[in-house]
């Protein structure tokens, strides 16, 4: 499929959703948000308890969009060099050679990323921000497109390590995966058992929906979506409202539980994701509702709640939703 305009891009996205739905049942909003993250050329973090299909969703997306993908299971003994590679001595040749790690791929799947300590997680910093890896003082460029699709278990689970704030900020979006509805679970069980023992969730049904070149064209099309200055102002006001010096200007109460807020990456991420949302809805321009729809997945991992939030029973999702309800959105025509 040739992707050269908004309509063809929207059709390609529908095809992607169709392929993912062959193995990942239900939770359509979650799938849409995941695809929006890919459209924006960003990295994606998916959180949920074990057994909810986090890895299945990530692997299905990787297969559907084409390109080379590699998966690494993060464990407590995983070393940074297991991800980036290293310089090693070739005894026969008598010189040093570069062994590139699995990070040199289009789609790097970091499974249960918070099972590894901070020094291993930090191995992804340069790759996620600079799209390069430094080995023995030499910089090696990563292939394009490049993105990290990571899964993690909630911090309450034993044997997990919280991601550093600097790394969380490099993820464009954080998606929370919840339990499926009873009907969705029935369909999933029936579909899995009809094709075998159910011990493994196969990806054989998922077909590659596009080439890596077409995927790049999809990203380029999303980057051309129009953004009115009023929309930019709205995204910036929304992000700035999470910071301590601005919270008191909005409302007391809920925002007092936000200890630290989002930096400028939050504003940029809101606009990038809003463009993807508009493209998915076959629009050539962003509207305020696109910003509102993206606020939770874009901002929840960029804010830190205070100790008061435990007493109040406040979550990051509730804090962002309350913030969106307080910040006035612009009105007008944006086409």
The per-residue pLDDT for range 104-130, each reduced to its tens digit, is 988 888 888 888 888 888 888 888 888
The per-residue pLDDT for range 129-183, each reduced to its tens digit, is 889 988 877 888 998 888 898 888 876 666 777 888 888 888 999 988 877 778 8
Confidence band (pLDDT; 50, 70, 90) for 197? Answer: very low
On whether the CB atoms of residues 43 and 150 are closer than 8 A, the answer is yes
On whether the CB atoms of residues 103 and 85 are closer than 8 A, the answer is yes
Where is pLDDT greater, at 276 or 186?
276
pLDDT surpasses 80 at 249: no
pTM (2 decimals)?
0.84
Torsion of CA 2, 5, 216, 170, to 10 degrees: -150
Tokens 């790394």 belong to which residue? 167
Average pLDDT over residues 270-294: 93
Share of the chain above pLDDT 90, in %: 18
Average pLDDT over residues 17-29: 83
The CATH H-level (homologous superfamily) assignment of domain 6-219 is P-loop containing nucleotide triphosphate hydrolases (3.40.50.300)
The H-or-E segment that residue 147 falls in is strand 147-152
pLDDT for 334: 66
The per-residue pLDDT for range 25-74, each reduced to its tens digit, is 777 888 888 889 888 888 989 888 776 777 788 888 888 888 778 889 99
Q: Are strands 132-135 and 138-141 parallel, antiparallel or unpaired?
A: antiparallel
Across the chain, what does the average pLDDT equal? 83
Confidence band (pLDDT; 50, 70, 90) for 20? Answer: confident
Cα separation values, 10 from 244, 268, 278, 282, Å:
39, 22, 9, 6
pLDDT for 122: 81
Helix boundaries (H) for the chain: 6-21, 28-39, 54-64, 81-84, 118-121, 125-130, 165-168, 182-194, 212-222, 229-240, 244-247, 264-280, 288-299, 308-312, 316-326
The per-residue pLDDT for range 217-235, each reduced to its tens digit, is 888 899 999 999 999 999 9
Residue ranges of the chain assigned to CATH 1.10.8.80 = 225-326
Residue ranges of the chain assigned to CATH 3.40.50.300 = 6-219
Per mean pLDDT, which of 24-28, 188-192, 204-208, 227-231 is the most reliable?
Answer: 227-231
Average pLDDT over residues 81-90: 82
Fold of 225-326: Helicase, Ruva Protein; domain 3 (1.10.8)
Cα separation, 127 vs 104, in Å, equals 9
pLDDT for 34: 86
The answer, yes or no, to whether the previous bond of 145 is cis (omega within 30 of 0) is yes
Where is pLDDT greater, at 185 or 296?
296
pLDDT surpasses 60 at 316: yes
pLDDT for 294: 94
């Amino acid at each position: 499929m040739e992707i050269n305009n908004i309509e063809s891009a929207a059709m390609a996205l529908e095809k992607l959703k169709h392929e993912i739905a062959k193995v990942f049942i239900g939770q359509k909003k979650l799938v849409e948000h995941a695809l929006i993250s890919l459209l924006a050329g960003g990295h994606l973090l998916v959180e949920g308890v074990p057994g909810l299909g986090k890895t299945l969703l990530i692997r299905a997306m990787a297969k559907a969009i084409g390109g080379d993908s590699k998966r690494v299971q993060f464990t407590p003994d995983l070393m940074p060099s297991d991800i980036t590679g290293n310089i090693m001595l070739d005894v026969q040749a008598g010189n040093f050679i570069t062994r590139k790690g699995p990070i040199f791929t289009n789609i790097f799947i970091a499974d249960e990323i918070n099972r590894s300590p901070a020094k291993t997680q930090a191995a992804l910093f340069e790759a996620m921000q600079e799209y390069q890896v430094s080995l023995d003082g030499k910089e090696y460029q990563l292939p394009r497109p490049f993105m990290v699709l990571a899964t993690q278990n909630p911090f309450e689970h034993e044997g997990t390590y919280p991601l550093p704030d600097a790394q969380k900020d490099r993820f464009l979006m954080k998606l929370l995966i919840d339990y499926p509805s009873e009907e969705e679970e029935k369909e999933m069980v029936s579909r899995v058992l009809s094709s075998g023992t159910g011990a493994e969730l196969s990806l054989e049904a998922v077909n590659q929906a596009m080439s890596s070149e077409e995927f790049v064209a999809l990203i380029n099309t999303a980057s051309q979506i129009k953004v009115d200055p009023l929309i930019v102002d709205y995204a910036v006001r929304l992000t700035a409202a999470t910071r301590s010096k601005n919270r008191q200007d909005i409302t007391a109460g809920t925002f007092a539980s936000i200890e630290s807020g989002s930096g400028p990456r939050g504003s940029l991420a809101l606009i990038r994701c809003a463009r993807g949302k508009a493209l998915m809805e076959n629009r050539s321009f962003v509207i305020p509702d696109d910003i509102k729809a993206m606020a939770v997945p874009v901002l929840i991992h960029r804010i830190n709640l205070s100790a008061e939030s435990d007493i109040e029973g406040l979550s990051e999702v509730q804090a962002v939703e309350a913030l969106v309800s307080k910040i006035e959105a612009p009105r007008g025509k944006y086409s």
